[in-house]
């Protein structure tokens, strides 16, 4: 396990080579958060990346580096707080649960991350938001809020819509990349979201990958599925090409 972690960090460092990657401390509602910003060029289109329930870790740094290699600036948001990177399941549930219960705060945190990205020089007028697991649910929350972004992407994220919410204000297309074998977020949830998006006239594409469980993109984990990860990343890359100028 330790060797995998070392290898993972090396990959993350290699992915960010030649680009300006750095930690960024910022404040939302008077509290400190620590994101990560990388940009290959001053005018690069922006991807707002939202972490899973582990918080912002080397996984998001690696993905940010992969996107920078494709020519995108990335701001990896922190929704838990500076130094808060839970490792126990009960702690992860606590931090995500608090935000699921306070959707207004979740939105403020993502808008705060966008404002911080702008302060770093990013073009938030030419941006897409994407997230993994919990981060995917957060990105769909941002879509429902009416955020003026060009697209919203969920990788094996939570797909449920809270009571009283809808997609009437969504301004960009939605891409959902999901595992058919996901028992946490089921295909019934997948189908329900498809109906909601269709009813509201939101441009969308939803793809499920056979045999892929929840968290199928997380390198080195038992649930990782290389084929589904590769195919979903390819579709995401094309989506960015189609959506951002």
Give the domain ranges of the chain. 2-243
- Band (pLDDT 50/70/90 cuts) for residue 77 is very high
Please spell the DSSP secondary structure of 175-211, one letter per residue.
EEEEETT-SSS-HHHHHHHHHHHHHTT--EEEEEETT
Share of the chain above pLDDT 70, in %: 93
Given CATH 3.40.50.1820, say whether it is the number of domain 2-243: yes
How far is the C-alpha of 75 from the C-alpha of 157, rounded, in Å?
19
Q: CA nearest 165: which of 98, 78, 100, 95?
A: 100
Other CB atoms closer than 10 Å to residue 34's CB: what's the count?
18
**20 pLDDT band (50/70/90 cuts)?**
confident
174-208 tens-digit pLDDT = 999 999 999 999 999 999 999 999 999 999 999 99
Q: With the C-alpha atoms ordered 34, 38, 41, 43, is the resulting torsion angle positive or negative? A: negative
Q: How far apart are the first and last CA of the chain?
A: 41
- The Cα–Cα gap between 177 and 174 comes to 10
| pLDDT bucket at 2, cuts 50 / 70 / 90 | very low
With 90 as the cut, is the pLDDT of residue 10 above it?
Answer: no
pTM (two decimals): 0.92
95: enclosing H helix or E strand:
helix 89-101
pLDDT of res. 16: 45
Token pair for 78: 């922190």
Let me know: does 171 contact 146? Beta carbons within 8 Å: yes
Strand, coil or helix: 22: strand
- Inter-residue contact 33 to 26 (CB < 8 Å): yes
Those residues whose C-beta lies under 8 Å from the C-beta of residue 91, and which sit 6 or more positions away, are: none
């Amino acid at each position: 396990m330790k060797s995998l972690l070392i290898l993972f960090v090396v990959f993350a460092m290699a992915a960010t080579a030649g680009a300006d990657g750095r930690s960024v401390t910022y404040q939302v509602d008077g509290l400190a958060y620590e994101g990560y910003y990388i940009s290959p060029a001053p005018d690069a289109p922006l991807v707002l990346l939202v972490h899973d329930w582990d918080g912002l870790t080397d996984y998001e740094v690696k993905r940010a580096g992969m996107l920078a290699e494709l020519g995108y600036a990335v701001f990896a948001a922190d929704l838990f707080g500076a130094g808060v990177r839970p490792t126990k399941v009960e702690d992860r549930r606590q931090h995500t649960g608090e935000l699921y219960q306070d959707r207004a705060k979740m939105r403020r945190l993502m808008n705060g991350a966008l404002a911080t990205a702008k302060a770093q020089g990013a073009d938030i007028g030419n941006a897409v938001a994407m997230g993994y697991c919990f981060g995917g649910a957060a990105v769909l929350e941002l879509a429902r809020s009416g955020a003026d972004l060009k697209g919203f992407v969920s990788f094996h994220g939570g797909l449920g819509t809270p009571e009283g919410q809808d997609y009437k204000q969504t301004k960009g297309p939605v891409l959902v990349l999901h595992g058919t074998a996901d028992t946490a977020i089921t295909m019934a949830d997948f189908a329900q979201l498809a109906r909601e998006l269709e009813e509201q006239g939101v441009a969308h594409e939803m793809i499920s990958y056979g045999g892929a469980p929840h968290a199928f993109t997380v390198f080195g984990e038992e649930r990782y599925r290389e084929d589904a990860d590769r195919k979903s990343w390819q579709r995401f890359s094309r989506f960015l090409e189609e959506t951002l100028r």
